Amino acid sequence: MIRKSKIPVVIFTLLIFISCVPNIADFDPVIYEKTVELKVESLVLINCATKPYNNYEKDIDRIMLEVEKAYEYSNGKPNNEITTEMWKILKDPEGNLLGGFFLHWENKQTLSQTMVGNSKKLIADAFDTIIGLESGKIKPNKK
């Protein structure tokens, strides 16, 4: 009888453990599709960096606006701090990925093919990291 009464104690202890586990945002098809789209558009634009920056300024502004929107969307979702931090690293003009690359292009006006090729690989990997993270999230119907 005494032992049987331990079942609620075990369950209560488990509930305490469960409540301590951090929550995470679910898989979001909107941000997933947007990230894939931004990756493709960004890489196409990076290919043009062997030509003068001024010719592409509007395209760069448009892409960075879309990246900023993706960041804000991510930031607005609860329990989504890690993905938001990744967007912050990607877009940072003081950093050395997408934001940093566009600033570097602006400063130099034209970049070498080697510079473009190496940067393109790094930035593609950065987008793939976010895409991989999004696709690894739990789908709401699988909970």
112 binds other proteins, rule: CB under 8 A: yes
Q: What is the dihedral sign for C-alpha 50, 52, 53, 57?
A: negative
Q: List binders of other proteins among 41-80 (CB under 8 A).
A: none
Task: Select from 10-18, 29-37, 42-50, 64-72 the region that touches other proteins (CB under 8 A).
Answer: 10-18
How is 6-17 classified by DSSP, letter by letter?
HHHHHHHHHHHH
109 binds other proteins, rule: CB under 8 A: no
68 Cβ contact partners less than 8 Å away, ≥ 6 residues apart? 91
Q: Cβ distance 31 to 67 under 8 Å?
A: no
CB burial readout 73-100, b (16+ within 10 A) else e: bbeeeeebeebbebbebbbeeeeebbbb
130 binds other proteins, rule: CB under 8 A: yes
97 binds other proteins, rule: CB under 8 A: yes
Indicate the residue among 63 and 123 with the shorter CB distance to other proteins: 123
Question: Residue 58 CB, nearest distance to other proteins (Å)?
Answer: 25
Question: Residue 132 CB, nearest distance to other proteins (Å)?
Answer: 6
Question: Quick one: tokens of 2?
Answer: 């005494």
Site of interaction with other proteins (CB under 8 A) = 3-4, 6-7, 10-11, 14, 17-18, 21-24, 82-83, 85-86, 89-90, 92, 95-97, 100, 104, 112, 114-115, 118-119, 121-123, 125-126, 129-130, 132-133, 136-138, 143
